[in-house]
Amino acid sequence: MAALPPHAPVTRPGPGAPRKRVLVVEYSQSGQLSAITRQIVAPLLENGRIDVHVEKLRPEADYPFPWPFFRFLDAFPESAHQVPPRLAPLGLTGDEDFDLVILPYQVWFLAPSLPIQGFLADPLAVRLLAGKPVVTVVACRNMWLLAQEKMKARLAALGARLIDHVAFTDPGPTLATLVTTPRWMLTGRRDAWLGLPPAGIDAATIAGATRFGHALAEALDRDGEQGRGPLLAGLGAVTVDPRLLASEKVGTRSFFVWGKLLRWIGPPGAARRVPALAAYVAFLIAAIIAVVPLSLTVQTLLRPLLRRRLGALKTHFEQPSGSGRERLSLYEH
């Protein structure tokens, strides 16, 4: 069913119809993901027939922002091996019955962030997510494909139904973001610098996330979440550059192998990890300088031969919501 314009009349539930309940799980270090989430949730909060519960995750050992340099690096072994941290008790019992779950997350070292991994590993997660439609929302530099594959596998293991995915990425050139994003993470500064663009998602793109909330609110009004198809198709939810997949695979393998070594050396925060982390930084910088430009160059040269393969990858990773924009005019204000 095609979406209706945001403020057009729709068939409303009767006065005695049960209210729809939406769970939003939130964790954001810099505040960027929270800003995106607020835009998506705003139309749901304005709808008098929808109740929204925002569950803010609180790791027992919090992750600082900006990151101290070695504290940042020290998070990668557990991120790569998907070792969830302990969280403060959730404000839920597990007996709640939600009609829809919105699961925003950051990407840490090409995997879902540790706090969101902590939520998915919580015993309550299976009770909250089993059988429920889930919308995932990612905000990151530009590499999220394998993180989403990990997320899909985890949701499937919990019995959840992934019905939509929305991806927000830094619009800066790939090589520029290799400088601007770490600068933001380590100093808190995201402004334009040395001729490089600002880091992160721009304000206009964040404001435009409201369209997803309007579409979800209308879908809930007509019980659309009970169907099998996506609710956010045609809204430009996901745009994939499949050429980045090769770099993601190399990076993921690197993080896994070095992460295994570091976990053998010591637990998170152990001083004896520091020399190995320093060695890894040197290795990582060399790998980035050599692998990323080479990979992009080779794929550009071979694009005519790889067109079919890249097209298939693009289609796969853009599911279920897709990159189509045919419904955007229904939500333009």
The reply to whether omega before 66 is within 30° of 0 (cis) is yes
Does residue 293 fall inside a structural domain?
A: no
Does residue 302 fall inside a structural domain?
A: no
For the record, the structure tokens of 283 come out as 């290795």
Tell me what pLDDT residue 2 has.
33
- Give the model confidence (pLDDT) of 125-142 as tens digits: 999 999 999 999 999 999
Question: In the structure, what pLDDT confidence band is assigned to residue 39 with cuts at 50, 70 and 90?
Answer: very high
pTM of the model: 0.90
What is the pairing mode between strands 133-140 and 20-26? unpaired
Determine if residue 50 is left, alpha or beta; phi over 0 gives left, psi from -120 to 50 gives alpha, anything else beta. Answer: beta
Please count the other Cβ atoms lying within 10 Å of the Cβ belonging to residue 213.
23
* pLDDT cut 90: percent of the chain above it: 76
Distance of CA 171 to the CA centre of its chain: 16
Q: How far apart are CA 259 and CA 232, in angstroms?
A: 36
Tell me what pLDDT residue 25 has.
97
Does residue 75 fall inside a structural domain?
A: yes
Does residue 270 fall inside a structural domain?
A: no
For the record, the structure tokens of 300 come out as 């550009």
Of 146-150, 162-166, 205-209, 249-253, the poorest mean pLDDT is in 249-253
Using only the alpha carbons of the chain, give its radius of gyration: 20
Q: How many domains does the chain have?
A: 1
Range of the domain at 94: 20-239+318-331
Give the domain CATH number at 205: 3.40.50.360
Does residue 5 fall inside a structural domain?
A: no
Q: What is the mean pLDDT of residues 118-122?
A: 96
Q: How far apart are CA 116 and CA 129, in angstroms?
A: 14
Does residue 122 fall inside a structural domain?
A: yes
pLDDT of 14 above 90: no
3-class secondary structure, 120: helix
Tell me what pLDDT residue 15 has.
53
Does residue 158 fall inside a structural domain?
A: yes
DSSP structure class, residue 87: B
Q: Residue 134 forms beta bridges with which residues?
A: 101, 162
Cβ-in-10-Å burial (0-12, 13-18, 19+) of 220 comes to buried
The residue type at 269: G
Q: What's phi and psi for 166, nearest 5 deg?
A: -125, 130
Does residue 45 fall inside a structural domain?
A: yes
Question: In the structure, what pLDDT confidence band is assigned to residue 73 with cuts at 50, 70 and 90?
Answer: very high
Question: In the structure, what pLDDT confidence band is assigned to residue 17 with cuts at 50, 70 and 90?
Answer: low
For the record, the structure tokens of 138 come out as 């990612």
Please count the other Cβ atoms lying within 10 Å of the Cβ belonging to residue 264.
9
- Give the model confidence (pLDDT) of 157-197 as tens digits: 999 999 999 999 999 998 899 899 999 999 999 999 999 99
